Amino acid sequence: MSHSFPIGIFDSGVGGLSVFGHIRDLLPHENLMYVADRNYIPYGNKSDRFIQERSRFIANFLIEQKAKALVIACNTATAASVQLLREELSIPIVGMEPAVKPATLHSNNGKIGILATEGTLDSGKFKILLERHANGAELFIKPCHGWVEWIEEGRGDDAGTLNLIRDTLDPILTKEIDTLVLGCTHYPFLRESIQQVVGDEINIIDTGLAVASQLRRRLEEESLLNESSTPGEERFWCTGPLGEMRQLLDRLWGSNARVELMPD
């Protein structure tokens, strides 16, 4: 395996770009590949078996493009398929889960809101996470219906966004939470609006940076860090309409991004 081989990153859509950004910052010399499986958005209401099939298909596509490591930049796909992919594939695989542990460590009053997709919240992996790390905290757990589609439609921080967030969060805003966990990689793209709705006193956390740090650790352990001093390259693929993906990439990443269709 060559050090210069790329890292493969995927999500159901553009949400994983919130993680991709941290990876780019922390590992500027790595070549990065990203797949957005937008034909099947959202993953959050699909069966485990369906998500496992998609994850396997995308992981194998990325390995054909010479991926030296994989990042599942999606809490829902991690819950459904990280174990399976680790059993089937021999390269390092980094997944993600809602930041319950950091939240319980940082909360002052032990009242924490957790936002994620239904798929993540219903998963066995999430139940285990709570058993291990809830630590007696009072948790207010909320699936955020429609948020992923909102972001995939390219909606920004406007009045409609504030209403969508208010409608979802209303029931937990009376609970005096001091910490709010964004347990889906799409939600950081609504961060400013979420902060506006919940107010400045509530600490909002996500795991993008922690995942990028974990990836760097795994590459170090496996002696796979790219030793080149030139800036890494980026390639993007999607399923679903190419034009839409280009527009989203322009908004959320940068206008020079090169995007191709992934065979589906």
Catalytic residue among 62, 72, 74, 205: 74
DSSP code per residue over 112-127: EEEEE-HHHHHSHHHH
Sequence letter at residue 135? N
Buried/exposed code over 57-82 (b: 16+ C-beta within 10 A; e: otherwise): bbbebbeeeebbbbbbbbbbbbbbbb
- Closer to ligand DGL by Cβ: residue 75 or 104: 75
Strands 111-116 and 179-182: parallel
238 belongs to the catalytic site: no
Q: Which residue's entry shows tokens 């795991």?
A: 207
Min separation Cβ 174 and ligand DGL, Å: 26
Of 124 and 231, nearer to ligand DGL (C-beta) is 124
Among 9, 27, 33, 41, binds ligand DGL (CB under 6 A): 41
Among 100, 112, 184, 211, binds ligand DGL (CB under 6 A): 184
Q: Which stretch binds ligand DGL (CB under 6 A): 2-10, 181-189, 238-246, 247-255?
A: 181-189
Residue 227 vs residues 32, 67, 121: alpha-carbon distances, Å: 15, 16, 39
- The stretch near ligand DGL (CB under 6 A) out of 72-80, 122-130, 156-164, 197-205 is 72-80
Segment lying near ligand DGL (by CB under 6 A), choices 10-18, 132-140, 160-168, 254-262: 10-18
111 or 142: whose CB is closer to ligand DGL?
Answer: 142
3-state class (DSSP) for residue 193: helix
Beta carbon of residue 44, minimum distance to ligand DGL (angstroms, whole number): 3
Contacts (Cβ under 8 Å, ≥6 apart) of 164: 146, 147, 150
Q: Is 74 a catalytic residue?
A: yes
Residue 36 β-bridge partners: 11, 238
**How many CB atoms are closer than 10 A to CB 211?**
26
Q: How far is the CB of 151 from ligand DGL (least distance, A)?
A: 9
Q: Binding of ligand DGL at residue 12 (CB under 6 A)?
A: yes
Residue 59 within binding range of ligand DGL, rule CB under 6 A: no
Based on the shown chain and the rule CB under 6 A, indicate whether residue 81 belongs to the binding site for ligand DGL: no
239 belongs to the binding site for ligand DGL (CB under 6 A):
no
Query: What single-letter amino acid sits at 101?
Result: K
Between residue 98 and residue 157, which ones bind ligand DGL under the rule CB under 6 A?
117, 120, 148
Burial of residue 141, with CB atoms counted within 10 A of its CB: 0-12 exposed, 13-18 middle, 19 or more buried: middle
Catalytically annotated residues: 74, 184
Give the residues lining the site for ligand DGL (CB under 6 A): 11-13, 15, 41-44, 74-76, 117, 120, 148, 184-186
